[in-house]
């Protein structure tokens, strides 16, 4: 049996009920896969042991099923895949692309020459890259040694994207001091081992792409096609958050919204409809990524 030419995925974190921004990405990724006669996988990114809750995992299943967004194959849980992440780090270490780092966040912030790199924090100045003395009472993290230069890739929404690795990325953490693999490493390993060919996600993760492309090359993995869609924003300019109960599917369901109304609203915000209630499957035949809005949408 041959593999599909399009295999997408939805990979939420079970740290709260899914909000409409999460579900919009799920809907668009699902439509992209189904309209291409491809597969759509579900992965639970529960690496954070303190915030990930089983009740929220159950809520993810409940919301997707209620909206008619089905998935193929078994559900992968990152909390069960630690050995695979450690194996990848071992390979990177043996090839000279990963090293132990004893720097604290405060030390990195004080030493960094660049102010920040988005949500990843300050660009690491390379303090431990050439070797460092272990610090008593402190466990090291593991960092990936990036190749300096420019990362260029074609995004299915943004077109040609260029990211300066030295200025905007720097060596980044792939395993935290508590022994948990970082998002950047885990997502690369899981996408590769599950055969993901297309990744649709919010444009807040656009800056992560350079890191993931470098990891993919270092590990010998193929790079998927990326599509970073504009976000759904609140009236105050902030993106939707799980703590805002009114923006969750569960909250709308409690208010009496039928699934078709939610799908219709998500479609309208994406440029795929006028807000008329519709079933998800009814959007497949007319779907094209080219139709998706290229600007953020203010909701509420």
User: What is the Cα–Cα distance from 219 to 84, expressed in whole angstroms?
Assistant: 12
- pLDDT digit string (tens) for the chain, length 300 residues: 456 799 999 999 999 999 999 999 999 999 999 999 999 999 999 999 899 999 999 999 999 999 999 999 999 999 999 999 999 999 999 999 999 999 987 777 665 544 444 456 788 988 899 887 788 878 999 999 999 999 999 999 999 999 999 888 999 999 999 999 999 999 999 999 999 999 999 999 999 999 999 999 999 999 999 999 999 988 777 777 655 555 899 989 999 999 999 999 999 999 999 999 999 999 999 999 999 999 999 886
Assess whether 86 and 75 both reside in one domain. no
Q: What was the pLDDT predicted at 244?
A: 52
* Boundary-marking domain end, from 183, 202, 237: 183
Q: What was the pLDDT predicted at 118?
A: 47
Tokens encoding 263: 């799908």
Assess whether 97 and 12 both reside in one domain. no
123: domain CATH number is 3.90.800.10
Cα dist from 171 to 40, 128, 228, whole Å = 32, 10, 23
Task: Please name every residue paired with 43 in a beta bridge, in sequence order, or none if there are none.
Answer: 76
Assess whether 91 and 66 both reside in one domain. no
Tell me, yes or no, whether 1 lies in a domain. no
CA-closest candidate to residue 16, choices 236, 184, 248? 248
Q: What was the pLDDT predicted at 242?
A: 57
Tell me, yes or no, whether 2 lies in a domain. no
Assess whether 202 and 276 both reside in one domain. yes
Domain hosting residue 33, numbered range = 7-79+190-298
Strands (E), the chain: 7-10, 39-44, 76-77, 98-101, 141-144, 150-155, 159-164, 172-175, 198-202, 225-229, 232-233, 297-298
Assess whether 194 and 294 both reside in one domain. yes
Residue with the two structure tokens 């990930």: 52
Assess whether 245 and 293 both reside in one domain. yes
Tell me, yes or no, whether 66 lies in a domain. yes
Assess whether 113 and 172 both reside in one domain. yes
Assess whether 86 and 71 both reside in one domain. no
Cβ-contact 218, 92 below 8 angstroms:
yes
Number of domains in the chain: 2
Assess whether 106 and 36 both reside in one domain. no
Tell me, yes or no, whether 267 lies in a domain. yes
* Boundary-marking domain end, from 183, 209, 241: 183
Assess whether 148 and 219 both reside in one domain. no
Assess whether 91 and 127 both reside in one domain. yes
Q: What was the pLDDT predicted at 222?
A: 97
Assess whether 220 and 288 both reside in one domain. yes
239: domain CATH number is 3.40.50.620
Tell me, yes or no, whether 266 lies in a domain. yes
Q: What was the pLDDT predicted at 115?
A: 40
């Amino acid at each position: 049996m041959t593999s599909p030419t399009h295999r997408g995925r939805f990979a939420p974190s079970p740290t709260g009920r899914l909000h409409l921004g999460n579900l919009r990405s799920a809907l668009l990724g699902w439509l992209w896969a189904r309209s291409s006669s491809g597969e759509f996988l579900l992965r639970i990114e529960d690496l954070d042991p303190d915030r990930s809750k089983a009740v929220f995992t159950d809520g993810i299943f409940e919301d997707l099923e209620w909206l008619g967004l089905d998935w193929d194959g078994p559900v992968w849980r990152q909390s069960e895949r630690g050995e695979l992440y450690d194996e990848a780090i071992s390979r990177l270490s043996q090839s000279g692309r990963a090293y132990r780092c004893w720097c604290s966040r405060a030390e990195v912030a004080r030493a960094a020459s660049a102010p920040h790199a988005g949500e990843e924090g300050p660009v690491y100045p390379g303090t431990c890259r050439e070797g460092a003395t272990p610090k008593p009472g402190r466990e090291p993290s593991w960092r990936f040694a990036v190749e300096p230069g420019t990362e260029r890739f074609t995004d299915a929404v943004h077109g040609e994207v260029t990211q300066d690795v030295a200025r905007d990325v720097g060596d980044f953490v792939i395993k935290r001091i508590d022994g948990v693999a970082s998002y950047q490493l885990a997502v690369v390993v899981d996408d590769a081992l599950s055969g993901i060919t297309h990744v649709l996600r919010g444009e807040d993760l656009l800056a992560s792409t350079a890191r993931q492309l470098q990891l993919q090359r270092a590990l010998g993995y193929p790079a998927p096609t990326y599509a970073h869609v504009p976000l759904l924003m609140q009236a105050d300019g902030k993106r939707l958050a799980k703590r805002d109960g009114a923006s969750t599917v569960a909250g709308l369901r409690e208010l009496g919204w039928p699934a078709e109304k939610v799908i219709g609203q998500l479609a309208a915000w994406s440029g795929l409809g006028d807000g008329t209630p519709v079933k998800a499957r009814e959007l497949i035949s007319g779907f094209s990524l080219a139709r998706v809005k290229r600007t953020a949408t203010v909701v509420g």
